[in-house]
Homo-oligomer: A and B are copies of this chain.
Amino acid sequence: MIEMSDPFEHTREMFHMPQGVIYLNGNSLGPLPQRAPAAMTRVARDEWGEMLITGWNKAGWMAQPVAVGDRLGRLIGAEPGHVVLGETLSIKVYQALAAALELRPERRVILSDTGNFPSDVYMAEGLIRSLDRGHELRVVAPEDVESAITDEVAVVMLTDVDYRSARRHNMWAITAKAHAAGALTIWDLAHSAGAVDVHLASAKADFAVGCTYKYLNGGPGAPAFIYVAPRHIAEVSPALSGWLGHADPFAFDPSYRAGTGIERMRVGTPPILALAALEAALDIWEDVDMQALYSASTRLSQAFIKGIEAACPDLTLASPREPELRGSHVSFEFEHGYGAMQACIAEGVIGDFRAPDIMRFGITPLYLNDDDIARAVEIIARVINEGLWDRPEYKTRAKVT
């Protein structure tokens, strides 16, 4: 193996990392960008504090959801002006799905897979119940998605990268198949944006949604985003027809008129303080080439898999072995995974656990390098092979809430 120089040394320094921690959970919550607190303080003091209400214009708050959307859009291969920030991912799923179903009024099937994130499925269930027009949520195995795309299908709604296994769909092939059958696609990029090279426009995706608190490092509960393909946006009638999606919010019209372009997918007042933190996070991405990031992720992930498999025969790879079929996290099955992950965390390697037996490790080149991966493998191997997972303090499951 040829040792490459780390193209992400400079971004690594832009994050705060607690002493002694190797953070393999950026797929769940990205770490603090060093500049985020100052960015929030600046917006709070200089904008909110000094400009007060006039900040909506003077500081450009009102335009931020689309402006930040464009910064993010570059990372997912979206056309400029077609991504907007706001609310939460579940809400964006609802908006995309309601719009897609309305664009295919004669069809009744929402096709998803067992790898979709549960909340997406829950939101679909709620929408189907509200619509009460006989829509069916058809959930198949991930490998059966393509063959399940028939002319009954209104929309194929998938999470691109599986939150457990990291199995990645082929966005190009599925979208092409969907279009050939007259169906639309919604891609949840929660585990893709900032993780892998996504090319929404090239893949001809119809809708995409995602969150910004994972690989994008926007902070806990950072706002979500939605993408609508340029060819559809003029036809989309927003189901969540909120004030800021109106063509002229400050006309205070008695009736809704959808705004131009992606603006119509806005709903309520944008979260300016949260957007300040997200902007600080996006600053770090400014010079990042997604192809280079993806290469680094692949190199680190392959090293991690190789290391764990060599050192921990009791762990079984639960992610695809082929990098091109995988997102940017790696999962292993281990019968005592819960206790093992608790022990890993106590030893300074933070990953997470997903029932029943998945140990999940996020591989994020922006702030992880080859040394971190090597050290993490050592520590995980010690936890597994010395049976630290069997200690009583690691075996009791804490209630999450």
Chain B CB within 8 A of A238 CB = yes
Chain B CB within 8 A of A350 CB = yes
* Interchain CB contact under 8 A, A57 and B256: no
Given A220-B55, A268-B89, answer yes or no on A277-B130 (Cβ-Cβ < 8 Å). Answer: no
Determine which of B56, B254, B274 lies in contact with A118 in the assembled complex, contact meaning CB atoms within 8 Å. B254
**Could you tell me the distance in whole angstroms from the C-beta of A111 to the nearest C-beta in chain B?**
15
* Interchain CB contact under 8 A, B90 and A52: no
8 A Cβ contacts from A66-107 to B: 86-91, 94, 98
8 A Cβ contacts from A159-217 to B: 211, 213
8 A Cβ contacts from A331-373 to B: 345, 350, 352, 354-355
Chain B CB within 8 A of A139 CB = yes
* Interchain CB contact under 8 A, A220 and B56: yes
Q: How many copies does the complex hold?
A: 2
* Interchain CB contact under 8 A, B49 and A16: yes
Chain B CB within 8 A of A148 CB = no
* Interchain CB contact under 8 A, B23 and A52: yes
A253 to B29, CA, bound (A): 21
Determine which of B90, B125, B129, B249 lies in contact with A400 in the assembled complex, contact meaning CB atoms within 8 Å. B249
Chain B CB within 8 A of A131 CB = yes
Given A44-B219, A271-B221, answer yes or no on A54-B253 (Cβ-Cβ < 8 Å). Answer: no
- By a CB distance below 8 angstroms, the chain B residues around A130 are 98, 127, 130-131, 239
Chain B CB within 8 A of A5 CB = no
- By a CB distance below 8 angstroms, the chain B residues around A401 are 57, 62-63, 249
**Could you tell me the distance in whole angstroms from the C-beta of A256 to the nearest C-beta in chain B?**
4
Chain B CB within 8 A of A317 CB = no
- Which 8 pairs between the two chains have the least Cβ-Cβ distance? A88-B268, A119-B243, A90-B242, A126-B241, A220-B272, A122-B256, A32-B49, A221-B271
**A-B contact list, 10 entries, CB within 8 Å:** A40-B273, A53-B350, A54-B345, A91-B268, A118-B252, A121-B254, A125-B241, A126-B240, A221-B269, A221-B273
